[in-house]
Amino acid sequence: MLGKYRIDLHVHTCLSPCADNGMVPPAIVRQAARAGLQAIGICDHNSAANVAAVQSAGAGLGLAVLAGMEVTSREELHLLAFFESAAELESFAALIAAHLSGTNEPLLFGDQIVANERGEPLELEEKLLAGAADLGAAELAEAARRRHGLVIAAHIDREAFSILSQLGFIPPELSLDAVELSVHAGTEGPYRSHGYPIVRSSDAHFLEDIGRASSLFRLAEPTVSELGKALRGVEGRRILR
């Protein structure tokens, strides 16, 4: 049975240095439920250390949480990568960690808090998550695909850290699953010519931003594999708006 699912695919937690420290797992899922979302994607910068905690918190409210990351390439553009399997997510996260350099300076970049499902801090991540991995966008996309991941170009309407701002075009070898527009984007028209499905997400760094932009999907259930079918428009799955 197919149903309608409103999903905000791009939500940060307190692990992202640019996110508010109040973006802890239980607060995120409560706000998502209040916003009328059926699912969210957790996409912290260059790490997935808080994904499992948000998934645990979401289970208590019946909110699906898709496992993802927002990775920064050598070209300093952002890609979203989503994985169905925890093992594949962990493998991808380990690859990114091995290609990051630098140590976080909280006074400059913000705290990087690893939290549990109750929102309690467990540790501070010391790696500089605000930096770029020493891997090109094509290498990152291929690494995600080898792990059966979906790859979406993040906030392509933005003037910084987007594939269009950094490269001026979308290299065909990336073979993206979709492109994302931010909450600030107007009409989708200018981006249709790139030929990829378009999703809208909040890129929320603060609780009040969760759900400010989202996409409505027709799916059998809110999972990464079903999302992939909707982005391809197969088996009745699709993006409704």
Average pLDDT in the chain:
97
With cut-offs at 50, 70 and 90, classify the pLDDT of residue 113.
Answer: very high
Q: What is the pTM of this model?
A: 0.97
Torsion of CA 23, 71, 203, 178, to 10 degrees: -140
pLDDT of residue 80: 98
CB 220 within 8 A of CB 237: yes
| Residues whose CB is less than 8 angstroms from the CB of residue 70 and which lie 6 or more positions away in sequence, other chains included | 10, 12, 16, 43, 44, 45, 46, 78, 79, 80, 154
Alpha carbon 139 to chain centroid, angstroms: 18
**pLDDT 10s digits, 151-204:** 999 999 999 999 999 999 999 889 899 999 999 998 898 899 889 999 999 999
Residue 233 burial (CB count, 10 A)? 12
Instruction: For the domain made up of 3-11+27-103+127-239, give the CATH fold.
Output: TIM Barrel (3.20.20)
Looking at the DSSP bridge assignments, the partners of residue 81 are: 69, 151
- Which pLDDT band holds residue 115 (cuts at 50, 70, 90)? very high
